[in-house]
Structure 1
Amino acid sequence: MSITPFQALACPLDGKPLSWSDSVWRCSDGHSFDIAKQGYVNLLPVQQKRSYDPGDSKAMVAARQRFLGAGHYQAIAEAVSNAVLSHAEVQAVGNPPFSCLDAGCGEGYYLRQLADAATNTHPLSLMGLDISKWAVLAAAKQDNKQAPLSSWVVGSNAHLPVQTETLDCVLCMFGFPVLSEFARVLRTGGVLLQVEAGPNHLRELREVIYPTLKPERSTEIEVLEGFTHHSIERVSYSLALNGSDEIVDLLAMTPHLYRASAEGRVRAAALEMLSVTVDVRLVIYTKI
């Protein structure tokens, strides 16, 4: 199985193609971006930041790394990998590698799972991007520096540092989709795979940290401009968390950490055991 880092990057300052040489990415206008010793590149200029240190904090990334490393979301990773690889196999032999961006990659768990699952499929070209430098740093540090599986990039979904129509697949895992940018970087016929929380996702945890639960969002499939709906798959199962550390990590890796009241966080931290429902939807769209 051939897995290579995605190379069709674009300058975040002027959109021109970047070329790689001597551990530096450069565009024709002379903008340059060094590859850090850990193996990632920062393509998030200060004018695209909304805060000094955007995205997940170092503590949130560490919590997610522990939680995902324990295999709690393995079923989600398997479903995502199967969906991506089924599309990769459709490409005829002799075509370029199937290129896939994880837009909001966190510490790289889902791309690593994809690479592990890709044994006898068409070659893959992978890129992981996140606005959190701590997340991308964690992802790059787990990669093989001699044979990296992905280009790891600090960047924003609102201004993807990717050349136009160069991707076959975009993953958006519990993330913040920017559909205009996803449509721009995808080739015609490329796929957008969104993983979204279902109505019962982490319900038991939410019942602990909130006084009341908000009405659930509509489960109807959205109509996305520039895309047609391809398919939908639901992944649902019960997850037993043993010990306060796992419960605290789950809370810490989700937006619920900041939405919950102080009293709600205290109640969650006091739990020694919790059975929660994992309920997500994998929705696939095709670019037209």
Structure 2
Amino acid sequence: MSITPFQALACPLDGKPLAHSGSAWRCPEGHSFDIAKQGYVNLLPVQQKRSHDPGDSKAMVAARQRFLDAGHYQPIADAVSHAVLGHAEVQSLSSEPFSCLDAGCGEGYYLRQLADAAANERSLLLMGLDISKWAVLAAAKQDAKHSPLSSWVVGSNAHLPVQTGTLDSVLCMFGFPVTSEFARVLKTGGVLLQVEAGPDHLRELREIIYPTLKPERSNEVGVPEGFSSHSSERVSYSLTLKGSEEIADLLAMTPHLYRASAEGRARAASLEMLAVTVDVRVVQWLRV
């Protein structure tokens, strides 16, 4: 079993293939992108930024890392790894390694879980991309403790710095899907795997921080262009958080931190224990 960084990157300025040369990635037109000492590369040009420091803040990344490392979302990681490796097994007749991008990788938890689960499976090529430099920095730092598992890239889902038709799988974990870009970078027969919040996800927390809950939106999602429906699985369980720190970390890693009022955040901060429902859908789309 070998797990190595994905290499088919593309220049974010002209879309041409990037080649790894020394301590940089370079394209044929002379554009060069230095590899940071922590092992990641920034492929997010200023014209693709909507703010000076887009994506999750350093504090949000640290909260997510503590929460995930505590194992609270392990069942979700297990379901994702099982699905990805199931596709890798189906394609095992191919001599090529199975390539996977986590689009919106955060601090790299789900790719690390995938690598751990793949001990006896076929070879994997992994890449983690996030628009937050703090998230990619955290992922690269953790990866550096071992042999590098992934290519870690600061970039945007709206303009993936990936060569067309080079990926077997794309993960979008609670992220911002840009299905046209996902379709472009996936091979025919490749799989887009999305993890989305279900109707009861974190309901108990939401009941505390909001005066009323909005009516749930329909779960009916149209098939994205370029894809066909493959499967959908629900992962649901109860989780008990003990201590105000764990509750604060959960709130800090969700959009609810900014949507809630000051009063709602104060109510959450006063808690010392919270039993909360985890309810997500793991949806898979097949690239046609």
**Coarse TM-score class (shorter-chain normalised):** over 0.9
User: Which residue identity does 1:133 align to in structure 2?
Assistant: K
Show the counterpart of 1:13: 13
The CA deviation at 1:23 is 1.3
Show the counterpart of 2:226: 226
The CA deviation at 1:144 is 3.1
* Identity score, percent: 82
Task: Give the conservation status (yes or no) of the 8 Å contact 1:97–1:122.
Answer: yes
User: Which residue identity does 2:278 align to in structure 1?
Assistant: V
Output the CA distance in 1 between the equivalents of 2:273 and 2:104: 30
Is 1:81–2:77 an aligned residue pair?
no
Task: Give the conservation status (yes or no) of the 8 Å contact 2:201–2:280.
Answer: yes
Output the CA distance in 1 between the equivalents of 2:280 and 2:69: 19
The CA deviation at 1:122 is 1.2
The CA deviation at 1:147 is 2.1
The superposition leaves residues 143-176 of structure 1 with CA deviations (integer Å, 9 ceiling, x where unpaired) of 1366200000000000000000000000000000
Show the counterpart of 2:169: 169
The superposition leaves residues 3-54 of structure 1 with CA deviations (integer Å, 9 ceiling, x where unpaired) of 0100000000000000001111000000000000000000000000000000
Is 1:40–2:43 an aligned residue pair?
no
User: Which residue identity does 2:64 align to in structure 1?
Assistant: R
User: Which residue identity does 1:180 align to in structure 2?
Assistant: S
Task: Give the conservation status (yes or no) of the 8 Å contact 1:108–1:128.
Answer: yes
Say what the alpha-carbon RMSD is for the aligned residues.
Answer: 0.9
Output the CA distance in 2 between the equivalents of 1:271 and 1:63: 17
User: Which residue identity does 1:140 align to in structure 2?
Assistant: A
Is 1:263–2:263 an aligned residue pair?
yes
Output the CA distance in 2 between the equivalents of 1:3 and 1:146: 12
Show the counterpart of 1:122: 122
Structure-to-structure mapping, 1:1-288, within 5 angstroms: 1-144=1-144, 147-288=147-288
Output the CA distance in 2 between the equivalents of 1:123 and 1:146: 17
Structure 2 unmatched ranges of 5 or more: none
The superposition leaves residues 52-102 of structure 1 with CA deviations (integer Å, 9 ceiling, x where unpaired) of 000000000000000000000000000000000000011134521100000
Structure 1 unmatched ranges of 5 or more: none
Output the CA distance in 2 between the equivalents of 1:48 and 1:235: 35
The runs of at least 4 consecutive aligned structure 1 residues that moved more than 3 Å come to none
The CA deviation at 1:219 is 1.5
The superposition leaves residues 208-247 of structure 1 with CA deviations (integer Å, 9 ceiling, x where unpaired) of 0000001111122422111001001100000000000000
Output the CA distance in 1 between the equivalents of 2:87 and 2:270: 44
Select between 136-145 and 75-84 the one with higher mean Cα deviation: 136-145
Output the CA distance in 2 between the equivalents of 1:244 and 1:74: 21
- Any idea what SS the aligned residue of 2:143 has? coil
Task: Give the conservation status (yes or no) of the 8 Å contact 1:234–1:280.
Answer: yes
Output the CA distance in 2 between the equivalents of 1:145 and 1:243: 30
Task: Give the conservation status (yes or no) of the 8 Å contact 1:91–1:122.
Answer: no
User: Which residue identity does 2:99 align to in structure 1?
Assistant: S
Task: Give the conservation status (yes or no) of the 8 Å contact 1:56–1:135.
Answer: yes
Output the CA distance in 2 between the equivalents of 1:206 and 1:94: 46
Task: Give the conservation status (yes or no) of the 8 Å contact 1:93–1:122.
Answer: no
What is the TM-score with the length of structure 1 in the denominator? 0.99
Q: In structure 2, do the counterparts of structure 1 residues 245 and 47 end up closer, same or farther at CA, with 3 Å as the change threshold? A: same
